């Protein structure tokens, strides 16, 4: 069972706009999940009212986020800042697609 973040746990949240041409299809979802899995923090991605585990490719794909969508990346843990920064950079580089 997940515990709520304690007073000493780091929580980082950022709003990021998808700017790649095709949004979150299989390849970007895989890159996001692989990147998220490199961190110990608990990481979620939210689009509108749907929130998924950022370490799950299928969860990310379930967001059906199209180009222009705004995502909220939230991480809780010691490496939360680095995790969010890495995911944000990947999105801002358009998943190296263009």
Residues 6+ apart with CB under 8 A from 59: 45, 52, 53
DSSP letter (8 states) at residue 6: P
Residues 6+ apart with CB under 8 A from 48: none
Active site residue 15: no
Q: Among the options 10, 14, 25, 46, which is catalytic? A: 25
| Cβ neighbours around 11 below 10 Å, total | 14
Which residues are catalytically annotated?
25
């Amino acid at each position: 069972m997940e515990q709520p973040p304690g007073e000493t746990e780091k929580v980082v949240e950022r709003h990021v706009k998808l700017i790649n041409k095709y949004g979150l299809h299989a390849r970007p979802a895989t890159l996001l999940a692989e990147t998220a899995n490199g961190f110990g923090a608990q990481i979620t991605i939210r689009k509108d009212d749907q929130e998924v585990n950022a370490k799950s490719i299928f969860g990310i794909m379930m967001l059906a986020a199209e180009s222009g969508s705004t995502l909220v990346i939230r991480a809780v843990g010691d490496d939360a800042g680095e995790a969010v920064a890495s995911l944000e950079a990947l999105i801002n580089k358009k998943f190296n697609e263009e």
